[in-house]
């Protein structure tokens, strides 16, 4: 997809749009740097903000303190999260800094009995911890509205050799003060 110039704007609306896009995807793939410097990706489940709370630029994930992902994060905290929902053409990529948290209140607020499949002792499991990811940049892609328009874009690309499926590509940079949105229509 060709990139057009990116202009920086501030928009809470785009941030508000990003959160439901993530929430609709059950699993993310987290990419970390392994001990040999190679990138490794694994599935992981995003924890929703507790009690209807709002997104504050931090994402949380349960893991074990002795897992490969926790070991990778302690060595190299830069991570990437990829979310995909192909059924409605939603794709999200998030970069940030991860750290291990043993905050008992955060764990209790996010705990669901379903997690006993991974942590049979529940919150009493001595290995349980949270990955706290502070989001630096998020990108998402949306298709043009309607399946017919998407199909026409694909057919046009196949006929002309020019890949221009329309839609929207947004880059959201997070800062301590406010999210900055860089629109990029590609």
* pLDDT tier for residue 15 given thresholds of 50, 70 and 90: low
In this predicted structure, what is the pLDDT of residue 185? 44
| Secondary structure of the chain in HEC code, one letter for each residue | CCCCCCCCEECHHHHHHHHHHHHCCCEEEEEEECCCCCEEEEEEECECCHHHCCCCCEEEEEEECCCHHHHHHHHCCEEEEEEEEHHHCEEEEEEEEEEEECCHHHHHHHCCHHHHHCCCCHHHCCCEEEEEEEEEEEEEEECCCCHHHHHHHHHHHHHHCCCCCCCEEEEEECCCCCCEEEEECC
Listed by start position, the domains of the chain span 9-142+168-184
CATH of 9-142+168-184 among 3.40.50.1220, 3.40.630.10, 2.30.110.10, 3.60.9.10: 2.30.110.10
Find the mean pLDDT for residues 151-159. 56
Find the mean pLDDT for residues 73-79. 97
In this predicted structure, what is the pLDDT of residue 178? 44
Tell me the per-residue pLDDT of 110-135, one tens digit each, with 9 for 90 and over: 999 999 999 999 999 999 999 999 98
pTM over 0.85: no
Tell me the per-residue pLDDT of 30-62, one tens digit each, with 9 for 90 and over: 999 999 999 999 999 887 766 666 667 788 999
Tell me the per-residue pLDDT of 136-146, one tens digit each, with 9 for 90 and over: 888 888 766 54
In this predicted structure, what is the pLDDT of residue 1? 33
Mean of pLDDT over the chain: 77
């Amino acid at each position: 997809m060709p990139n057009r110039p990116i202009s920086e704007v501030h928009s809470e609306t785009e941030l508000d749009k990003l959160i439901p896009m993530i929430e609709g995807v059950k699993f993310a793939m987290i990419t970390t740097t392994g001990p040999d410097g190679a990138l490794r990706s694994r599935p992981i489940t995003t924890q929703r903000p507790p009690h209807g709370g709002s997104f504050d630029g931090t994402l949380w994930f349960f893991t074990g303190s002795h897992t490969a992902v926790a070991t990778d994060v302690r060595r190299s905290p830069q991570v990437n999260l990829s979310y995909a929902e192909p059924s409605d053409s939603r794709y999200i990529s998030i970069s940030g800094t991860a750290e291990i948290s043993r905050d008992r209140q955060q764990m209790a607020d996010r705990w669901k009995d379903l997690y006993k499949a991974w942590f049979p002792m529940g919150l009493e499991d001595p290995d349980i911890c949270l990955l706290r990811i502070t989001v630096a940049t998020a990108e998402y892609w949306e298709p043009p509205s309607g399946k017919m328009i998407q199909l026409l874009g694909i057919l046009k690309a196949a006929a002309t050799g020019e890949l221009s499926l329309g839609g929207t590509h947004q880059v959201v940079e997070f800062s301590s003060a406010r999210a900055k949105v860089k629109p990029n229509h590609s």
